[in-house]
Structure 1
Amino acid sequence: MEDKEIPTVNLTVTPLQQMMASCTGAILTSLMVTPLDVVKIRLQAQDHQYPKRRCFLYCNGLMDHLYYCDEGSHKAWYKKPGRFSGTLDAFLKIIRNEGIKSLWSGLPPTLVMAVPATVIYFTCYDQLSSFMKSKLENDAYIPIFAGILARLGAVTVISPLELIRTKMQSKAFSYKELHLFIRRKLSQDGWISLWRGWSPTVLRDVPFSAMYWYNFEVLKKWLCKCSDNHESTFAINFTAGALSGSIASVATLPFDVVKTQKQTQLWRYETSKGSHVLPTTTWDIMKLIVAKNGISGLFVGLIPRLIKVAPACAIMISTYEFGKAFFLKQNLKKTQE
């Protein structure tokens, strides 16, 4: 398939069109990356069964979600029997024995959070970038500041919703019970309790966003120069997205490890019934990890994270840029009519 030139985005691409492009990219990214995580979880489950009242992290390519284990029923998708010798064997056996739809098990409920978060993030980034470019002469560091502000906004909006979604899944609350739970939570701990886990998420996602957008813009310009293209092509956006995502992923991995630890502690605490106190601050969790496993403990899971993040970033940004280019062409046609 021949690459087509993607025009530079300007104000003729409306916020609504940016939202539509990011929504399309989010859905496509989830559809293409989720099977990798489903296979990973199934491979892990055959060696270490997920016990009742425990959770594991599930990634749809856009966000990590806590997936709460049910009462032990083998009907759950992550507990279905099957012996796999490796990743390819797992793919083939799942498709043959359970149908191809099983590769997207657990995806629909996670999209409820991932799609809005992605739409907010990408649309805010473009709007902030356009605004800053109109006000500042030096645009070299605009991707950093726009990326930071856009991610802060997306995390702040989505964090309470993610906490509520996870709680609903873990306890099978009705909407009435959920309403009572939220009221009790607010009366006991205040509004700030709805943003539990916000700080480790920000510590991971904000630096990631700053590095990702800065490196993406730099790599995109460099690749355009090397290939003698005045505008970025689909292939250039895809390559720049994968490389910048990989760089940011490695740099922010320690915060990802801390975030995972802090999320799963919620359920360990509930099942321990207060028998011992668990560290809660980001710094305390980091010190505990280093004390147990050394500095290398902060970089556990590097390869699995790269396998998920690199293709997800590449698919998302290239689809998003292609979508904006499509809308830009449509808008230009309308102005010429």
Structure 2
Amino acid sequence: MDEDDNPYETLGVSTTMSTHMLAGAAAGVMEHSVMYPVDCVKTRMQSLVPDPKADYRSVADALNKIVRNEGIRNTVRGFSAMAFGAGPAHALYFACYEKMKLILSDGKQGNHFAHGFAGCTATLLHDAIMNPADVVKQRMQMYGSPYQSTFLCFREILHTEGIKAFYRSYTTQLTMNIPFHSLQFITYEVMQDLLNQQRNYDPTSHIVAGSVAGAVAAGVTMPLDVCKTLLNTQEHCARTHLTYISGMSSAFRTIYEFCGVAGFFRGLSARVIYQMPSTAISWSVYEFFKYAIHKKRQQVPDDVYIGPTVHIATATAR
């Protein structure tokens, strides 16, 4: 099929950067908002030595115990930090991805190297904004967190640990997110080859492919996500006789010391359960808003849908 006969993946060429940023911001906020309670569970399940009252057997068990013993509000502690960071982080991510992809591929489709490199570049911007938000969010999510509000948590970290505390996990997060997004994209394309070879607009195939891609990427990069949580929360300091754990190698050694190899996969089920729907939500919302905004500006006929050019972006892991 000629490129002109299949307009499905040509939207990115004609849409503006503001369209990508607005759609990306909406996708980021919606993705994290819907899945936030599961993200809270993931953070707690990654604890090295959990409090007996916060030692959960499964995601369902964790949600049940948190709601029953702490109240439903504790499942969304730190939400404002996420909301504050996710909007601009995803706006820059999608805008940068679309721009870099267009430059590197020269407007042509099927250049996977261009897509992968553009995704890596976009990740640098996304994580630069999202990393401080993750630090505050995850400290608020931990069981028995002493912080009364997001602002007080931010102020306390800044006062006692300095600005560097917000970027201790930055290199680890990049080490995780760059292969995460690359693997996610590759898996998505493989699934599309199986389910939607013509690359027509098919919501079912996109959602299924995105979910599988999110699950595969989440599983493979799980050890790095545990390290990121450890660097953000610093929950182990009193037990390791170190002022702070800083750097990926120190995080790996600490996790192995306390939990062995199994420690690198604590909270795996929660992360996979989080990533599968969040990937689908992120894609669906982004494409919907991108299409709606573009249609309004360009007056695209109702029977023409020009589909996705960005297949997924998560930050949570989050």
Give the 5 Å matches for 1:87-166. Answer: 87=60, 104=76, 106-134=78-106, 139-160=111-132
Mapped contact 1:143–1:214 kept (Cα < 8 A): no
- What is residue 302 of structure 1 aligned with on the other side? 268
Distance 1:105 1:173 in 2: 8
- What is residue 318 of structure 1 aligned with on the other side? 284
- What is residue 15 of structure 1 aligned with on the other side? 17
Greater relative contact order: 1 or 2 (C-alpha under 8 angstroms, separation 6 or more)?
A: 2
Q: Which runs of 5+ in 2 are unaligned?
A: 1-5, 141-145, 302-318
Partner AA of 1:287 in structure 2: R
Deviations 1:108-154 (A, max 9, x none): 33211122222222221122111211178971222221111110122
Per-residue deviation, 1:285 = 2.8
Percent same amino acid at aligned positions? 22
Distance 2:110 2:133 in 1: 37
1:246 to 203, 215, 219: 215
| Bigger mean CA deviation after superposition, 27-36 or 287-296 | 287-296
- Tell me the matched-pair count: 286
Distance 1:41 1:151 in 2: 21
Q: Which runs of 5+ in 1 are unaligned?
A: 51-84, 187-191
Q: Secondary structure at the match of 1:232?
A: coil
Distance 2:256 2:76 in 1: 36
**Radius of gyration: which is bigger?**
1
- What is residue 67 of structure 1 aligned with on the other side? none
Distance 2:27 2:161 in 1: 38
TM-score (norm 1): 0.66
1:164–1:256 Cα change, 3 Å: closer
Mapped contact 2:15–2:294 kept (Cα < 8 A): yes
Q: Which runs of 4+ in 1 moved over 4 A?
A: 37-44, 88-91, 101-106, 135-138, 160-175, 181-186, 274-279
1:203 equivalenced with 2:169 (yes/no): no
Per-residue deviation, 1:23 = 1.9
Partner AA of 2:179 in structure 1: P
Per-residue deviation, 1:324 = 1.9
Q: Secondary structure at the match of 1:280?
A: coil
CA RMSD of aligned residues (A): 4.6
Q: Secondary structure at the match of 2:121?
A: helix
Deviations 1:194-216 (A, max 9, x none): 63221111111121112122322
Deviations 1:255-292 (A, max 9, x none): 11111222222x543x67x9546653312332343355
Distance 1:10 1:134 in 2: 12
1:150–1:107 Cα change, 3 Å: same
